[in-house]
Amino acid sequence: MNYIAQTQSDFENLSQAAVNNPDAFWSRYAEENFNWHKKWSTVSNCDLTQGKISWFEGAQLNITENCLDRHAANQPNKTALIWEPNESKEPAIEYSYQELLDQVSKTANMLKEMGVQKGDRICMYLPMVPELAFSVLACARIGAIHSVVFAGFSAQSLADRINDASCKWVITADGGFRGNKITPLKKIADEALAQCDCVEKVLVVQRTQSDIEWNASRDIWWHDQFEKQTTDCPAEIMDAEDKLFILYTSGSTGKPKGMVHSSAGYMVYTTYSFLNVFQCRRDDVYWCTADIGWITGHSYILYGPLSAGATTLMFEGTPSYPDMGKFWEIVEKHKVNIFYTAPTAIRSLATCDLALVNQYDLSSLRVLGTVGEPINEEAWRWYDEHIGKGNCPIVDTWWQTETGGIMISNLAGVTPAIPTMATLPLPGVQLALMDTHNTEINEMEAEGALCIKAAWPGMARTIYGNHQRFVETYYSTYPGYYFTGDGARRDAQGNYRITGRMDDVVIVSGHNLGTAEIEDCIDELPQVIEAAVVGYPHAIKGNAICAYLCAEDLTEKEVKQFVSDRLGPISKPEQVVFVTALPKTRSGKIMRRILRKIAAGETDALGDISTLLNPDCVKDIIQIMA
């Protein structure tokens, strides 16, 4: 069987085969498409009621041998990674599979020399430089667990993540170029590390030549250690379920969740989904614009494309520098065939002069993709017409940090795209919609809570250090099902449209933000008596954050700055509204639902507020915001 669907009927056959016998389906795919040191004794051993997930037990492998060595052996000169710098006057760098393997091996040897061992946690707080790719893969090579923290996060967020995973090593850079700005990463890391006793050594990549403080007993320059390393670094043989990485995502409580992914299942699923969804061909140049600090970068800049032997591009800069034509300049320059980005980027690019698009030759493009949030029809049409020129299928890919890989999407050119709909689950993915009584809805046309009812290899295994929270968050609302936290609508043909989060997570510009975390942060300001943070629709960002505060002697600017310093600029509220009281139920619970409606300007749809403890405050808030 060909596991990569090429026709609608392949797709149907695969879907059927995966339902009939999931173990046989995944087992054969895994066996035929990867290198293993030892085969598994059990394909899947999962009990969703307990949040127990295990795939390919007994198997041994190293994911980097699948991402690098096998391609270096078969096609050593094929370009594996293209790195495009922030400034176009700096040359791009291309690494062949052999060269990338050599860089990763040298990095791995450097880490080993520093004393890193299998199972150790290493935190990366790096800009989008090649060293980030090398470090991630080097950890995987020696069995260390990587925890990449997005370089836009604040010192406090970084410290929390380092401490949560007890990372012994941190890899950072003197600074990072982002458009016309330099992010002082080493300075932020220094501030974080003042709170992290677990960290022994800090490896520093020199990128911006910025002036930095140096702690001689702790800090080591990357370049001082790297050049002297050899390129010979045998891969550590890992068990299928050994942890590959931790990646933090926001939850409904203030504390971020360290999602854990393991080796074999993640490798199998990211490769399978990459090839099926994007239909990547041998000589394609594939570009995902995400940051490696997010799951999209892990799965679809690095692991998925590399395991599939593709050419993957990583870009250091931003879509708006030096102007809003940057993405299209890169597409032309590298003759990109497959382009994968976020609706927020599309919406903001769509507001610009079309001349910025039309001055570039985009004829290399064959497939377009979006991820991270629902895409509205207007943005979809713009993307289709002006970027795809009506010739490129758009894949709307729904998935999560927790799912490891794409779960719902059309397959480019194979199954139909429907604007604003993620469409159908990938073969092997079994979805369910649940009603308000927590039972599965059998009718095809329905709306409900989106769940997944059968295990798949790429799913997260636990929350680092807190399996109980994992079970409570994902497996207890609907016993026997994985609950995604999203709501969805299903049409008569079985196509899914994601309607948005059902919990207190707000997706701002494609980033998952927990309102509780922002609330906790604002509450730390001594002038704040009470705060409530909600999301509301925003034309470009998809959603934005509105913070309602009862506070004394505080300005909007101070609140925004405080949140930005503590949690990072992406968490900064768009609006800060000072109110005299927050609407509450008689039991004292803040009615965020009402605040959400007010922020969205839907003041006609507040429903019955007479049962509130303090209905009058609602009128006051509406007036303040008018």
Does 348 sit near ligand PRX (CB under 6 A)? no
Span from 17-25, 51-59, 146-154, 394-402 in contact with ligand PRX (CB under 6 A): 394-402
403 CB-side CA count, 13 A: 27
Question: Does residue 501 belong to the site contacting ligand PRX (CB under 6 A)?
Answer: yes
- Distance (Å, rounded) from C-alpha 150 to C-alpha 158? 9
Instruction: Considering only residues 556 through 585, tell me which ones interact with ligand PRX, judged by CB under 6 A.
Output: none
Nearest of 135, 145, 143, 184 to residue 168 by alpha carbon: 145
Closest approach, Cβ 151 to ligand PRX, in A, equals 16
Q: Which stretch binds ligand PRX (CB under 6 A): 92-100, 372-380, 550-558, 559-567?
A: 372-380
Q: Which of 486, 504, 517, 519 binds ligand PRX (CB under 6 A)?
A: 486
Pairing relationship of beta strands 338-341 and 285-288 according to DSSP bridges: parallel
Binding mask 236-255 for ligand PRX (x = CB under 6 A): -------------x------
Least gap, CB of 403 to ligand PRX (angstroms) = 8
Nearest distance from C-beta of residue 619 to ligand PRX, angstroms: 33
What binding mask, one character per residue, do residues 416-455 give for ligand PRX by CB under 6 A, x or -?
A: ------x---------------------------------
Name the 3-class secondary structure at 43: strand
Q: Give yes or no for residue 334 binding ligand PRX (CB under 6 A).
A: no
The CB density around residue 49, as the number of other CB atoms within 10 Å, is 12
Q: Which of residues 278-317 bind ligand PRX (CB under 6 A)?
A: 295-296
Q: Considering the rule CB under 6 A, would residue 498 count as an interface residue with ligand PRX?
A: yes
Q: Cα–Cα distance between 117 and 607 in angstroms, integer?
A: 58
Report the amino acid identity of residue 270: T
Which parts of 11-111 are beta strand (E)? 42-44, 55-57, 60-61, 79-84, 93-96
Closest by CA to 236, choosing from 307, 139, 146, 141, is 141
> Among residues 274, 485, 331, 503, which one has the least CA distance to residue 400?
485
Burial class (CB in 10 A: 0-12, 13-18, 19+), 589: exposed
Name residue 60's beta-bridge partners.
Answer: 38, 239
Q: What is the DSSP letter of 396?
A: E
Does position 485 interact with ligand PRX (CB under 6 A)? The reply is yes
Does 401 sit near ligand PRX (CB under 6 A)?
yes
Q: How far is the CB of 398 from ligand PRX (least distance, A)?
A: 4
> Of the ranges 180-188, 361-369, 391-399, 525-533, which one interacts with ligand PRX (CB under 6 A)?
391-399
Q: Rule CB under 6 A: choose which of 124, 171, 507, 528 binds ligand PRX.
A: 507
Looking at the Cβ atoms of 297 and 573, the one nearer to ligand PRX is 297
CB of 375 to ligand PRX, least distance (A): 7
Cis, peptide link before residue 76, omega less than 30° from 0: no
The contact set with ligand PRX (CB under 6 A) reads 249, 295-296, 371-374, 396-401, 422, 484-486, 498, 501, 507, 512
